[in-house]
Amino acid sequence: RALEDRGYDSLWIGEHSHIPSSRRTPYPAGGDMSEQYKRMMDPFVSLTAAAAATQHLLLATGVALPLEHDLFALAKTVATLDHLSGGRLIFGVGVGWNEEELADHRPDVPWCHRYSAMAEAVAALRSLWTADESSFSGRWFSFEGAWSFPKPVQVPHPPVYCGAGGP
């Protein structure tokens, strides 16, 4: 509420399901990894709380990691948040910077293919958000004849932005 009262237009919350304690992946900004990464709250629950306290503030994931979710659950979560916020969600997505974190979720996705797998995940989500009965067939994700509701308030779906850093 304080952000909205001060004229901010959006609130962006990042996501890490966990940080493997035996991680070999170096922190991308260099030096020691910030403690905040160990203590991140769920972005969708946090943004739902912000939606309940505000009327105009845009609510954004900056960034969510679709490869670390069950796609059906993620489609429902995103659509529900879009509903509860009155269509104020921006769905920022990325692949993350931590190779071990991704491997804990998706050992079938090689690190070098994470961007193509994420693009496919977003395409599958768009199918679930827009079609009454959706199907999807890809290298990493496939399903046939699925009903997935609710649909997002924003038509055809919330804006999807890809966040990335580095080479």
Residue type, 146: A
CA 96-130-126 angle, to 5 degrees, is 20
pTM of the predicted model as reported, rounded to 2 decimal places: 0.95
- Token output for 150: 């609710």
Residues of the chain predicted below pLDDT 70: 166-167
CB 60, CB 90: distance < 8 Å: yes
- Angstrom CA distances, 54 to 67, 144, 151, stand at 30, 38, 22
3-state secondary structure of 66: helix
User: What phi, psi does 105 have (nearest 5°)?
Assistant: -90, -45
**Tens-place pLDDT, residues 63-80:** 999 999 999 999 999 999
